[in-house]
Chain A
Amino acid sequence: MTEKLKEKITTKIWFEDEEADNPFAAKTCYCSGYDVYGDLLGKISWPEYIYLLFKLEKPQPWQAKLLESIAIAIANPGPRDLSVRGAMNGGVGGSTAASCLMAALAPGAGKNGGAREVYQVMRLWQQCEFDLTLWKQKLSDYEDEQTVEVWPASEHSPGFDPYGASCSTPVMHTLNYLVSIYQDGALAFLLKNRQQLEDYADCPVGMTGVIAAAFTDLNFSDEQAEMLFLLLRLPGAAVHSLEQKKLGWRKYPFFGDGLTLTNDPGATSIKNSTENAP
């Protein structure tokens, strides 16, 4: 009787040799052909390894530098950011560490400043490339590609800040610096035509627009860019949630006077009493 063929995970990313005494323990782990613990560890930088994982090839120095700079630019959007606020809500309540990061991922995934917006801008780069006429067409009347989807409908042209008065200083600094690393692609086009594009979108360029241009220059796919944007923004969420956990909920905003109920039926006859308790 022949043994039934066991199902396997197919992967181009990872290969393992087993330990002689245990088929469930890896002796060597290879990432796209490179021995991770025997060769890469101690030799390559974190952005080089991230690039290798996503692209399965060694990056050029400028590519590693660009990815590292993206990671620094977005590592902490700050405690006012919607995703970081999600994480801090987990922290002040004493929620588990993973739930704090999950609480950051949910808002951080969205179409307003989040990873889905980066995905949308990646799609625009694929469709418009360096053609200003196409950008004008898309940005002046942005429409979602899918009308029926789980994502809420877009309310602004992706890549731009719907409430910005002008392109903010951190966004400009990031754009200028990233262009200094790579001058021959989407980032440079964005810098050169920024005001024109902002006129089309009727909003200033936002961080998602700059980062999507950088991911375009790195030749990442839309889905890779979405995933990396989620991943690389988690450090800020982590540290701010830990900080608020330590400080406690009394020092964290509850917006006590901020909510107005527009259809309050008013107090009813049931009293807050335990006099009828059994």
Chain B
Amino acid sequence: MKGPKTLINAEDNWQTDMGALFNGERVVYRGKDLFDELSDTSWFKLIMYGITGREFSDAQIQLFEAIQVITVSYPEPRLWNNRVASLAGSARSTGILATSAAIACSEAKIFGNQANIVALDFIRRAKLAIKDDDDIADFVINDLKDKRAIGGYGRPLIDNDERIAPLLERAKNLELATGPHVQLAFRIDEFLSKSRYKLILNASGLSAALMADQDFNYREYYYATMLAFSAGIIPCHIDAINHKEGTFFPLTCHRLNYTGKDLRHW
């Protein structure tokens, strides 16, 4: 057993290259002086630098922003995560509590951050495994059997994704749409959409491929997209605050479909 040796060494001893505040003087951000070297950096560029330690071109940053603007910035209060902010607003809770909770709920399996990282992992593995088009069927079907879903493919209820065209258009304008992961994503779409599985490439899949072409691994992608929904979430809270309290889709007692035990006494 190792015992507490590691903790003894760590007591009052945090070694870091991420940054620090020199109170009343300066701030260091991943090795750079925040006020001197980074003060004219855009907020999004700073976040990307904070996550990866890498600096990106303006075109790359515009692509990352476009992914977030086009794919998840929907001020639609019925979406699962946005609805949390609307409910909090209707309950007259604070905007930050609402937004934090809604962002936390964005770490979801059927959409959002859990789905995103699976999509990025899939396309990176596919790129390594698939040498030519003959390999696509084997790889994809094996993955589907193994994991029962393909990250970045399929959409519930409908058979198209309205976000693919505008995102692709934006990526083309930035000359960042033709990387090997994006090309492979569409070749897999060609196979899967015509197969008996009828799965189409969705926005999460295209976003993952675009980010994989910019050399993001799934961890970096996870951090890069964790605030993505906020542009849709915050207006939902404001909207609910601007309505009468408690009026966000109120439910009568009749709206419970009870399927449990009959009435009984303790």
A residues contacting B by CB (< 8 A) are 6-18, 23-26, 30, 32-35, 39-40, 43-44, 56, 58, 96, 98-99, 102, 148-150, 162-166, 198, 202-204, 255, 257-265, 267-270, 272
Asked if B12 and A270 make an inter-chain contact with CB atoms under 8 angstroms apart, the answer reads no
Q: Which segment of B79-87, B89-97, B180-188 sits at the interface?
A: B89-97
Q: Does B43 contact A (CB under 8 A)?
A: no
Asked if B4 and A39 make an inter-chain contact with CB atoms under 8 angstroms apart, the answer reads no
Asked if B260 and A260 make an inter-chain contact with CB atoms under 8 angstroms apart, the answer reads no
> Please, which residue of chain B has its CB at the minimum distance from the CB of A9?
B256
Asked if B33 and A268 make an inter-chain contact with CB atoms under 8 angstroms apart, the answer reads yes
Measured between C-beta atoms, what is the minimum distance from A157 to chain B in Å?
Answer: 12
Measured between C-beta atoms, what is the minimum distance from A200 to chain B in Å?
Answer: 12
Measured between C-beta atoms, what is the minimum distance from B216 to chain A in Å?
Answer: 14
Question: Interface residues of B, CB < 8 Å — how many?
Answer: 57
Cα(A164)–Cα(B3), bound, Å: 5
Given contacts A259-B16, A270-B35, contact A39 B256 (CB under 8 A): no
Contacts of A149 in B (CB 8 A): 114, 117
Other A-B pairs, 19, CB within 8 Å; known A16-B253, A24-B251: A6-B255, A9-B251, A11-B256, A14-B256, A14-B258, A15-B260, A32-B260, A33-B261, A33-B263, A148-B121, A150-B107, A163-B3, A164-B3, A165-B3, A166-B1, A258-B12, A262-B15, A263-B17, A268-B36
> Please, which residue of chain B has its CB at the minimum distance from the CB of A254?
B23
Cα(A268)–Cα(B3), bound, Å: 43
Cα(A99)–Cα(B264), bound, Å: 39
Measured between C-beta atoms, what is the minimum distance from A142 to chain B in Å?
Answer: 15
Count of A-B contacts judged by CB separation below 8 Å? 155
Asked if A265 and B28 make an inter-chain contact with CB atoms under 8 angstroms apart, the answer reads yes
Given contacts A11-B257, A98-B93, contact A258 B121 (CB under 8 A): no
Asked if A265 and B32 make an inter-chain contact with CB atoms under 8 angstroms apart, the answer reads yes
> Please, which residue of chain B has its CB at the minimum distance from the CB of A29?
B253
Measured between C-beta atoms, what is the minimum distance from A47 to chain B in Å?
Answer: 14
Measured between C-beta atoms, what is the minimum distance from A40 to chain B in Å?
Answer: 6
Contacts of A13 in B (CB 8 A): 260
User: Contact partner of A33 among B12, B253, B260, CB < 8 A?
Assistant: B260
Asked if A40 and B6 make an inter-chain contact with CB atoms under 8 angstroms apart, the answer reads no
Q: Does B131 contact A (CB under 8 A)?
A: no
> Taking chain A's interface residues, is the majority helix, strand, or loop, or is none over half, making it mixed?
loop
Given contacts A102-B100, A164-B3, contact A15 B256 (CB under 8 A): yes
Asked if B253 and A26 make an inter-chain contact with CB atoms under 8 angstroms apart, the answer reads yes
Given contacts A24-B252, A32-B260, A261-B17, contact A102 B101 (CB under 8 A): yes
Contacts of A43 in B (CB 8 A): 266
Cα(A40)–Cα(B36), bound, Å: 65
Contacts of B16 in A (CB 8 A): 259-262
Asked if A34 and B252 make an inter-chain contact with CB atoms under 8 angstroms apart, the answer reads no
Measured between C-beta atoms, what is the minimum distance from B106 to chain A in Å?
Answer: 11
**Smallest CB-CB A-B distances: 3 pairs:** A12-B260, A33-B261, A18-B253
> Please, which residue of chain A has its CB at the minimum distance from the CB of B222?
A150
Asked if A33 and B262 make an inter-chain contact with CB atoms under 8 angstroms apart, the answer reads yes
Cα(A33)–Cα(B258), bound, Å: 10
Asked if B113 and A150 make an inter-chain contact with CB atoms under 8 angstroms apart, the answer reads yes
User: Contact partner of B266 among A26, A39, A166, CB < 8 A?
Assistant: A39
User: Can you give 10 contacting A-B residue pairs, CB < 8 Å?
Assistant: A11-B260, A12-B259, A12-B261, A18-B254, A25-B253, A35-B263, A39-B266, A203-B1, A264-B28, A269-B36
Q: Does B31 contact A (CB under 8 A)?
A: yes
Measured between C-beta atoms, what is the minimum distance from B27 to chain A in Å?
Answer: 11
> Please, which residue of chain A has its CB at the minimum distance from the CB of B24?
A272
Asked if A23 and B252 make an inter-chain contact with CB atoms under 8 angstroms apart, the answer reads yes
Within 8 A of A (CB), among B1-58: 1-7, 12-17, 19-20, 24-26, 28, 30-33, 35-37
Cα(A43)–Cα(B19), bound, Å: 56
Contacts of A7 in B (CB 8 A): 255
